[in-house]
């Protein structure tokens, strides 16, 4: 069965990955692909970071002694891996083979109201290397840092007006250095400049969870069983799923949560509120 339309048509590759014997996935909040097309699966399980090759063969795992509550993931141009830990209130930076390089936040200790971090969600970088973290379930903020982890500024507050948030769930930066923030419970994506000035928004989404940007194209995993694909100018190109829980391959049992693209243009989508949900959509 085909999913999508126009130039963005996909076939689902069912059961594309293989875990070692005796291993299992719990919820899979996030997925990311590095420069060598190694697929990093960030899950709430005994093996929080599992790496596959592009064909789904197991490569390695790491993070068992550090990572506790998977939420958001980001891989930079040097293949460093950034893991946002929700319930431990911190962000961890690793080398590609799992060596811990940096921790932001005090593990297991939430920040004061409006301060980093209280159940953070995701992160991204701008063209100058500054880092942005969405924060999140306990705050309604975006925090800006230098690449070395020095806090620069924060913005946002609870609400529905421009620049306010109701669960900022993901941040990504486009080629124009605009921040796209998935304002999940407000069913919108807000655009900001790198100083936190509100620019505009896309509304009418179905609780956007995670964003992936590939040049001019924006891929969105939406909590209400939908994936949608847009241009940077705000034109929706295609979508599938939407409001119906289904166990059929290519459809969604519960809640799409993570999304990333590999070098071939194939799409990886993860889900939460159900175990071991990690689907690969092969572009036709």
Residues of the chain under the 70 pLDDT cut: none
Range of the domain at 80: 2-283
CA torsion 73→190→282→252, rounded to 10°?
80
Number of domain units in the chain: 1
Looking at residue 15, its pLDDT comes to 87
CATH code of 122's domain: 2.120.10.30
The C-alpha atoms of residue 12 and residue 279 are separated, in whole angstroms, by 7
What's the token pair of residue 232?
A: 């940077």
pLDDT digits (tens, 9 = 90+) for 257-270: 999 999 999 999 99
> Residues 20-54: pLDDT tens digits?
999 999 999 999 999 999 999 999 999 999 999 99
The Cα diameter of the chain in Å comes to 50
Handedness of CA 127, 223, 120, 67 (dihedral sign): negative
How high is the pLDDT of residue 85? Answer: 98
pLDDT the model gives residue 242: 78
Q: Return d(Cα 165, Cα 86) in angstroms, integer.
A: 17
Query: What's this model's pTM, rounded to 2 decimal places?
Result: 0.98
Q: Which helix (H) or strand (E) holds 230?
A: strand 226-231
> Could you give the CA distance from residue 44 to residue 214 in angstroms, rounded to a whole number?
27
């Amino acid at each position: 069965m085909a999913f999508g339309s126009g130039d963005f048509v996909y076939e689902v590759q069912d059961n594309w990955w293989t875990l070692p014997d005796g291993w299992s996935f719990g919820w899979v909040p996030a997925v990311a692909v590095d420069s060598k097309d190694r697929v990093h699966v960030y899950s709430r399980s005994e093996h929080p970071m599992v790496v596959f090759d592009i064909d789904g063969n197991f490569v390695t795992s790491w993070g068992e002694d550090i990572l506790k509550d998977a939420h958001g993931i980001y891989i930079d141009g040097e293949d460093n891996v950034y893991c946002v830990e929700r319930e431990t209130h911190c962000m961890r930076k690793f080398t590609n083979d799992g060596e811990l390089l940096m921790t932001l936040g005090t593990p297991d200790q939430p920040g004061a109201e409006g301060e980093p971090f209280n159940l953070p969600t995701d992160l991204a970088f701008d063209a100058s290397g500054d880092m942005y973290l969405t924060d999140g379930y306990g705050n309604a903020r975006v925090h800006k840092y230098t690449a070395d982890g020095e806090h620069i500024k924060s913005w946002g507050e609870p609400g529905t007006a421009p620049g306010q948030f109701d669960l900022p769930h993901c941040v990504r930066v486009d080629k124009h250095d605009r921040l796209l923030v998935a304002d999940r419970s407000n069913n919108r994506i807000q655009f900001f400049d790198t100083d936190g000035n509100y620019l505009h928004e896309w509304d009418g989404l179905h609780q956007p969870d995670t964003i992936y940007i590939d040049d001019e194209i924006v891929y969105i995993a939406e909590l209400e069983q939908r994936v949608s694909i847009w241009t940077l100018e705000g034109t929706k190109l295609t979508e599938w799923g939407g409001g119906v829980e289904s166990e059929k391959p290519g459809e969604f049992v519960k809640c799409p949560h993570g999304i990333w693209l590999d070098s071939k243009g194939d799409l990886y989508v993860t889900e939460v509120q159900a175990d071991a949900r990690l689907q690969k959509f092969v572009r036709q």
